[in-house]
Amino acid sequence: MANVSVIGLGYIGLPTAAVLGSHGHKVFGCDVNQNTVDIINSGRAHVIEPDLDAAVESAVSSGSFKAFTTPQAADVYIIVVPTPFKGEEAGVPQPDMSYVESAAKAISSLVKEDDLVILESTSPVGATRKNVADIIEGARPELKNKLHYCYCPERVLPGQILTELIENDRVVGGLTPQAAVKAKAFYKTFVKGDVFETIAEQAELVKLTENTYRDINIAFANELSSICDEKNLNVWEVIKFANRHPRVNVHFPGPGVGGHCIAVDPWFIVSGSPEKAKLTHLARTINDAKPAYVVDQILKGIEDTATDTVALLGMAYKPNVDDLRESPSVEIAKLLKTKTDAKILIVEPYVDSMDGFELADTKEAVAQAGVVAMLTNHKEFLDITLGELEGKAVVDTRGVWA
């Protein structure tokens, strides 16, 4: 078992730290936010995820996990910080690797010979070498070729993080074969799934491939849905029956693609290979255009029914979670507000308030509105009956009433 320093205690770093703590490691977490550190050290989680509070409480109270605002010395370092965008080049969002580089700089004064340094943040191809190893070796030239660098993407689904951290297969990509072997042995201390060794650049592209596969497939479903609208066909039935073919798995249309991953990661492929990544680029464009398409459908509903009230059901980026970040539903609400004087009733059972909008109860909103748009198919909405929708214009982006 090892001393492990986890840099970044967000949606992935915190559960990872708690799981490592419960598997015999001594974990030093680090986050730049003092408030986050205080909450964690009081035995609670600052992000909402099933069972995470209990896991943090158990790891902190047993003494196996403590949080700090600066990185602590250890034998294994895991960098799990955000990799957002930093503006566009030729219309393509570019990855901002500054948090990764700051983390690498911060640990460069702590590392010693034979330590394992792992990057888990979603990153463009080449980041483990360029944004981590080169930075550390630049600061500590005497440690060149004496540390083990590895890229190991996280691939857990929000809502199931604690289970998937342990059950899912992992891919570890080393800058050297020895680094991959060492990283595999480390992950096997808590991962029940298989752990596969490869080179760092391939592991980086594996992560981007997973989310891009999903984005392209959803773009196809969104394209199919507008083709079906044009031809007055039922896209949900088309997909359901096509998927009865043993080798077909069409994903589902929706109001657009949200969250921090699927709508972001494909751009890391496009920015690295702008000439080659044509399909990836187009899929992003199709999915990003979907909220405006839904707004047009709602505006048509307002016109057709001559109503002065619209109900928007669900603001989270996907069902049964409270996460409104990068949510197409929120984009739809904001855009709609600029285009209509109709009253917009927002129904979102998973949050208490939303800036600039009135939150309403499901049944009341549906009863009052002339247009009802199903944006996020939370389980709380599934008992709305067709009778309650009679005489209204319905924009069903999730196929709940199809």
Q: Which residues are catalytic?
A: 207, 261
For position 211 contacting ligand SAJ by CB under 6 A, the verdict is yes
Report d(CA 128, CA 133) in Å as an integer: 6
Residue with tokens 């044509």: 278
For position 158 contacting ligand SAJ by CB under 6 A, the verdict is yes
Minimum Å gap between C-beta 318 and ligand SAJ is: 4
Window of 34-42, 177-185, 197-205, 254-262 that interacts with ligand SAJ by CB under 6 A: 254-262
Site track 20-59 with ligand SAJ (rule: CB under 6 A), x = hit: ----------------------------------------
Window of 14-22, 252-260, 342-350, 388-396 that interacts with ligand SAJ by CB under 6 A: 252-260
How many residues lie near ligand SAJ (CB under 6 A)? 20
Report d(CA 106, CA 29) in Å as an integer: 13
Backbone angles phi, psi at 34, to 5 degrees: -60, -40
Radius of gyration of the CA atoms of the chain, in A: 23
Minimum Å gap between C-beta 141 and ligand SAJ is: 34
Report d(CA 373, CA 312) in Å as an integer: 5
Minimum Å gap between C-beta 159 and ligand SAJ is: 7
For position 218 contacting ligand SAJ by CB under 6 A, the verdict is yes
Window of 72-80, 111-119, 187-195, 251-259 that interacts with ligand SAJ by CB under 6 A: 251-259
For position 261 contacting ligand SAJ by CB under 6 A, the verdict is yes
Q: Which is nearer to ligand SAJ, 185 or 279 (CB)?
A: 279
For ligand SAJ, the binding residue among 254, 291, 314, 370 (CB under 6 A) is 254
For position 258 contacting ligand SAJ by CB under 6 A, the verdict is yes
Minimum Å gap between C-beta 254 and ligand SAJ is: 3
Window of 79-87, 181-189, 257-265, 291-299 that interacts with ligand SAJ by CB under 6 A: 257-265
Beta bridge partners of 325: none
For position 210 contacting ligand SAJ by CB under 6 A, the verdict is yes
Minimum Å gap between C-beta 268 and ligand SAJ is: 11
Window of 248-256, 273-281, 300-308, 357-365 that interacts with ligand SAJ by CB under 6 A: 248-256
Site track 263-302 with ligand SAJ (rule: CB under 6 A), x = hit: ----------------------------------------
For ligand SAJ, the binding residue among 77, 252, 267, 268 (CB under 6 A) is 252
Minimum Å gap between C-beta 177 and ligand SAJ is: 26
Structure tokens at 342: 């109709």
Report d(CA 400, CA 353) in Å as an integer: 25
Minimum Å gap between C-beta 157 and ligand SAJ is: 4
Structure tokens at 260: 């921090």
For ligand SAJ, the binding residue among 24, 61, 86, 157 (CB under 6 A) is 157
Q: Which is nearer to ligand SAJ, 157 or 227 (CB)?
A: 157
Q: Tell me which residues touch ligand SAJ (CB under 6 A).
A: 122, 154-158, 210-211, 214, 218, 251-252, 254, 257-259, 261-262, 317-318
